[in-house]
Chain A
Amino acid sequence: MSIDRMSAPELLGLNRFNVDEEEPHIIIDKEICRRCAEKPCLYVCPAVLYKLDKNGEMSFDYAGCLECGTCRVMCKNKGIIKWAYPRGTFGVSFRWG
């Protein structure tokens, strides 16, 4: 494979993740997100984990999270009701960083 434009899921597929199935480290409240006009999370998440589904509802999957914290600092309307680092040993593990 050579260099090409890659989608976020393709890029995330290269990383090593140990997903904490029991305890999500980020939780959003879709009701608050629905009322948020700007929705900056759609554009600022490097992993593109915030998306609008067919009905225009916010969908989010914490599994590919790079733990950068950008969504947290950008979320003005507090639709993100929990943002913590994953529990020890969980989440992304960068080999190169």
Chain B
Amino acid sequence: MSINNSKSKMPDPSVLKEEILKKYPGKIAKKRSKGFLVNDPTTVPEIQANVRTIPGIITQRGCTYAGCKGVVLGPTRDVVNIVHGPIGCSFYAWLTRRNQTSPPTENDPNFIPYALSTDMQDENIVFGGEAKLKTAIQEAFDEFNPRSIAIFSTCPVGLIGDDVHAVAREMKEKLGINIFGFSCEGYRGVSQSAGHHIANNKIFSNVIGIDDVTEPKGKFKMNMLGEYNIGGDAFVLENYFEEMGIDLVASFSGNSTIESYEYSHKVDLNIVMCHRSINYIAEMMEKKYGIPWFKVNFIGAKATAKSLLKMAEYYEDAAMIKATKALIDREMAKVQAVIDEVRPKLEGKTAMMFVGGSRAHHYQELFTELGMETIAAGYEFAHRDDYEGRKVIPSIKIDADTRNIEDLKVEKEEASFRSELQDKKAKLEGAKFDFEDYEGMMPEMKKGALVIDDISHWESEKLIEKYRPDIFCAGIKEKYVVQKHGIPLKQLHSYDYGGPYAGFEGAINFYREMERMLTTDIWKMIDAPWKNEPEMVGSMVME
């Protein structure tokens, strides 16, 4: 069996789409059809996204709680997270994302290796769980003495009517530390995405800006948003920032502390890596404090160079621009050397990518740098703007499933509003410098590529069968399904326990990883050497 395919024998995408959807009962085919498009980068068709998954369909998606606790709050090390609910939800979110963290000393807090749960029992479901939650908070406080405690509600909690916010307020009063709760029950939204929003809201209203006294040090202060330090990505970037002379105040939320969030409103810039999970905080901080934000991308060497340079240009500091250019030149030379070596082996190969809310877009950069083509892609929990660009935001329909996630009313805070930053923004914007920008995935993909939102198991099976891509990128649930076909799958949530893949160093790691995955001999061993030989017949006879 060979995994080398040329693009020439690829099927007609529109015909294939029909064939795939045919399997679905009528109404479902119609529904899926709107989230299953043949791309045209110039006109960018409207895609259906962020709508509920059809019951019974095997989906990649997880729940609101996973987005809130697992993604956004999980990587922060100095907050004690208590999951209020039966045991499972807490168990599965225990150390299962690879957000590395680096407490500066042995004595600094790090609660990431701990899973805390109220382990609700029958009687708590029947009679309510608030009393148990209060006791649990008290016990966590007594045992760990943390600076703050967060409470995460899982599905049963909302239904039995426990008021976690009232409990949080009461215990905050009693214990004198910051305690806040998230109504992030799994059913609140159609995917993890709702949980991101809920997390953003609460961090914004209960944590960001509560410390007005501490002045973070440094001349060029910045927050990084939407970088979760999977496999150490943030560590790579932190080094670049330091070399450029930028002081990273807070990271939302890879390698971060809740302490730094408290004074994170005192920066000059917010950069946004994963637009889907964190754009809310960026926007709210701009409204309230006047801090400008723009989108960056550190996946792909060219994208990294572009993003770093944009940051330096924002600060309008000659020394920083010079240092940044030097950094880029130095690193790009290393990158180029590896590309020169690896690219000839991978040129022309095809990739498919169905994952997350930003990575299915970002990682296309790396494939492009290797001369590979992304022939189909889609997100697991993104919205239309992540596909079509932020310009479509005003036209996105708010349906019943999104309506119940609060949009916070944010007011300008006169006392700390940074009008000088807004002036700077206005000046730079005139000079073709984009803020609050995200073009989305589709304008950057080729005409005729398939764009599929919330892909189902059935759909990905058919894609694999018809296209036999050289590599498929998705998550752990898809990994071994795809590999049974003899096609390698790269996990883009956990990086298959490798990485980092961010920045120049990360790009090199990724090229090498693709070289390994696409040239390994293991897939060639699937068939035994005697597979096509005639069978021996007869009995064992001595000659």
- A, B assembled together: no
Using CB atoms and an 8 Å cutoff, list the residues of chain A in contact with chain B.
Answer: none
Q: Which residues of B contact A (CB under 8 A)?
A: none
